Amino acid sequence: MDKRPIGMFDSGVGGLTVLHECLLAHPNEDFIYLGDTGRFPYGPRSIEEIRGYAWQIASHLISLDVKLMVVACNSATAAALPWLQERLDASIVGAVHPESEAAVQTTRNRRVGVMATEATIESGSYQRALLELDAGLEVIAQPCPNLASLIQAGDVSSPDMVKTVKSYTEPLKQAGVDTVILGCTHYPLVTPMLQRSLGKDIVLINSARETAREVGEVLERKGIVNDPDREGEYSFLCTGDVDSFVSVGAPFLQMPFEQVQRVEVEELERAGIA
């Protein structure tokens, strides 16, 4: 039994969809979530810049004595996960591998689409992970600029959102995919619109659900599960405005917000140097 908390971070509030699934799947565990809202979005940034941010946040969470770290941000997972795993003495879970495994097990025609930010697509992380699992797959990678920002701004049902979603889903439909990975933690909030646009027969792979499953497997394998009879606690850190973090994040978490504190970017930068 290990009473230490699980650390989780994201570029903003999208990772709260992952936390939501983890709170349902692992109600006995404690979680500390850090949303880097002060530097959101990560998608348009370079791989090197995202990697630097991920290093700073991971270093800060390790200083809080977390037993497991979850990189809930797909862009950060794509840019930094193997790099972090090589440099940190900690168990780290990301979104790419569990989603890729689920997609390979789901597809029938071996045509898999990936919807993600520019940084995630440019990293090639999903393409590599999928082809390592099945070299015969056809992977159609669709970058979705601004989609995460629109969702985070609360624009989830406007004509602009409908037009944007159709522009990103049409190439996947034309390619004949039967499975689509939602490669950003924001995208589950517009699942109904994505499903309608892609068609009812297309299977959508949710990063939040698959990551929560992977967290459970790692906890069991490492023997670091908390007392199963207790009710876990969860708290939040963010680098931007706290009130905005709570109001924007509420639809993502779908649970009460508790213990929200602001952490300055300068503090993360110091943690990354130490």
Domain spans, the chain: 6-94+209-273, 96-207
Q: What is the DSSP letter of 187?
A: G
Among 207, 222, 23, 236, smallest CA distance to 115 is for 207
Confidence at residue 259, expressed as pLDDT on a 0 to 100 scale: 87
Q: Cα separations (Å) of 54 from 93, 189, 203?
A: 13, 24, 31
Give one word for 259, left, alpha or beta, with left for phi > 0 and alpha for psi -120 to 50.
Answer: left
DSSP state of 46: -
Nearest alpha carbon to residue 149 among 138, 160, 140: 160
Half-sphere exposure of 225 (CA within 13 A, CB side): 15
Q: Taking a C-beta distance cutoff of 8 angstroms, is the pair 40, 68 a contact?
A: no
CATH class of 96-207: alpha beta
Same fold, 6-94+209-273 and 96-207: yes
Euclidean distance between CA atoms 97 and 151, whole angstroms: 24
Q: Give the closest residue to 238 by CA, choosing from 254, 253, 218.
A: 253
Residue 272 has a pLDDT of 76
Label residues 7-16 b or e (16+ Cβ within 10 Å = b).
bbbbbbbbbb
Max Cα–Cα distance, the chain, nearest Å? 50
Return the pLDDT at 157: 84
The per-residue pLDDT for 173 is 97
Catalytic (active site) residue 73: yes
Q: Which pLDDT value is given to residue 154?
A: 83
The CATH classification of domain 6-94+209-273, taken from the options 3.40.50.1860, 3.30.2130.10, 3.40.630.10, 1.20.1640.10: 3.40.50.1860
Query: What count of other Cβ atoms lies within 10 Å of the Cβ of residue 121?
Result: 22
Catalytic residue selected from 22, 144, 184, 238: 184
User: Taking a C-beta distance cutoff of 8 angstroms, is the pair 116, 140 a contact?
Assistant: no
Q: Is 52 exposed, middle or buried (0-12, 13-18, 19+ CB in 10 A)?
A: middle
- For the record, the structure tokens of 96 come out as 């790419």
Annotated catalytic residue 184? yes
Among candidate residues 22, 73, 144, 238, the one labeled active-site is 73
The per-residue pLDDT for 155 is 78
**Mean pLDDT by 10-residue block, N- to C-terminus, for the chain (274 residues)?**
96 94 97 96 92 96 96 93 92 93 97 95 95 98 94 86 96 98 93 96 93 95 95 97 94 90 93 69
CA angle 110, 116, 122 (to 5 degrees): 90
Query: Cα separation of 131 and 95, whole Å?
Result: 16
Per-residue pLDDT at 261 = 96
Residues 6+ apart with CB under 8 A from 158: none
Res 233: pLDDT: 96
How many Cβ atoms sit within 10 Å of the Cβ of residue 192? 10
